[in-house]
């Protein structure tokens, strides 16, 4: 599930995730990309996808960048707790790939810049958790 808000960042995170999935031989037909308006909307979609029974893991990608109001705190906290709740409610690992950054530079650094690509890192987490569930919890 990818948020369109701050898409200059989220598209780079998605590219990193998709490249990682390819590198680890995840078949393209096993990947579904669902776009939502922003990070606040990610959890409800992740939960419903998880409950569908069609997915082994749900990767949640977004970018919340601090502004001059408290909106950042509300969205960041809601996305964080919402993704956790989605995984618990659906029984499917919902992987938190939502950046919460102070500014755009920091976000871009984490989306393929100096700090690597957090999309790639969270894709690895999704692969590991899907495998763990398949081999130990099914």
Q: In the chain, where does DSSP find H-type helix? A: 7-23, 42-51, 71-90, 104-109, 118-136
CA gap 49, 116 in Å, rounded: 28
71 a catalytic residue: yes
Per-residue three-class SS string for 24-63 = CCCCHHHCCCCEECCHHHHHHHHHHHHHCCCCCCEEEEEE
Catalytic residue among 56, 71, 135, 136: 71
End-to-end CA distance of the chain: 24
Catalytic positions are 71
């Amino acid at each position: 599930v990818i948020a369109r808000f701050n898409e200059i960042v989220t598209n780079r995170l998605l590219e990193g995730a998709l490249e990682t999935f390819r590198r680890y031989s995840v078949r393209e037909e096993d990947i579904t990309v669902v776009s939502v308006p922003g990070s606040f909307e990610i959890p409800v979609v992740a939960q419903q996808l998880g409950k569908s029974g069609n997915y082994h893991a749900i990767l949640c990608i977004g970018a919340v960048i601090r502004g001059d109001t408290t909106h950042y705190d509300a969205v960041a906290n809601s996305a964080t707790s919402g993704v956790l709740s989605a995984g618990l409610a659906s029984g499917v690992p919902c992987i938190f790939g939502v950046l919460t950054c102070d500014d755009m530079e920091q976000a871009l650094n984490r989306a393929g810049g100096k700090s690597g690509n957090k999309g790639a890192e969270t894709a690895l987490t999704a692969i590991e958790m899907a495998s763990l569930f398949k081999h130990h919890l099914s």
